[in-house]
A and B are shown apart, each in its own frame.
Chain A
Amino acid sequence: ETGVTQTPRHLVMGMTNKKSLKCEQHLGHNAMYWYKQSAKKPLELMFVYNFKEQTENNSVPSRFSPECPNSSHLFLHLHTLQPEDSALYLCASSPRDDQPQHFGDGTRLSIL
């Protein structure tokens, strides 16, 4: 039990599909993050939310749309994705800015 739960664990979708990734944290943290992990590349920060407000968008294409309805939940809505978007998407949370981040197990996304 990591305290940060991501669903689904695996997702296969076509380029024209619309799907959503979900992240839930049970740690009482105030900040949540989406990262993209591609093979042979460093983890890339995508979005940061602090107290439900987006504070960072790391030049992410608009086909990725985050949503943070409350401090415990974070979604990543996907539409019209490209094959290069296939990757492991990791969610993380932290109590505050200077505290370490806790990661979920990730969603393995494959775009056909």
Chain B
Amino acid sequence: AQTVTQSQPEMSVQEAETVTLSCTYDTSESDYYLFWYKQPPSRQMILVIRQEAYKQQNATENRFSVNFQKAAKSFSLKISDSQLGDAAMYFCAYQPWDGGATNKLIFGTGTLLAVQP
């Protein structure tokens, strides 16, 4: 069974600094997607970044970038120039790709990020 592990329950970063959130996953599949979602106190789950496993190039979205290590099954999120609005719970998620039968997201337990002014 596929699993997603986030080993850091809480992290803290100073405003304008850089922080990296860790995520590892376990799967025997070769084709899949990985995501980072952000959940602020408003509760809405917001997609931050998406990575296709077949792509070697790391995904980047403005101040957010990932370090995707397929062999190590690692998918960390780097937030540069941290802002107060980045404070939230961050979830790593895995989605198998089985030809379109289902779109099943498997989530980690989350990392609570605090941003200090």
Contact = CB atoms under 8 A, between A and B. Distances in A.
Interface of A: 2, 31, 33, 40-43, 45, 48, 50, 55-56, 88, 90, 92, 94, 96-106, 108
A96 B101 CA distance: 10
Nearest to B103: A97
B47 interface: yes
Interface stretch (B62-70, B75-83, B104-112): B104-112
Interface residues of B, number: 24
A105 B43 contact: yes
A50 B4 CA distance: 25
B109 A41 contact: yes
B100 interface: yes
B45 interface: yes
A31 B102 CA distance: 9
15 contacts: A2-B44, A31-B103, A40-B109, A42-B4, A42-B109, A43-B91, A43-B107, A45-B105, A48-B103, A96-B103, A99-B103, A101-B47, A101-B105, A103-B46, A106-B43
Given A31-B103, A40-B109, A88 B35 contact: no
Given A43-B91, A100-B47, A104-B44, A56 B107 contact: no
A44 to B, nearest CB: 8
B43 A96 contact: no
A100 to B, nearest CB: 5
Contacts of A96: 100, 103
A102 B47 CA distance: 8
Given A42-B109, A45-B105, A100 B43 contact: no
Nearest to A58: B104
A28 to B, nearest CB: 16
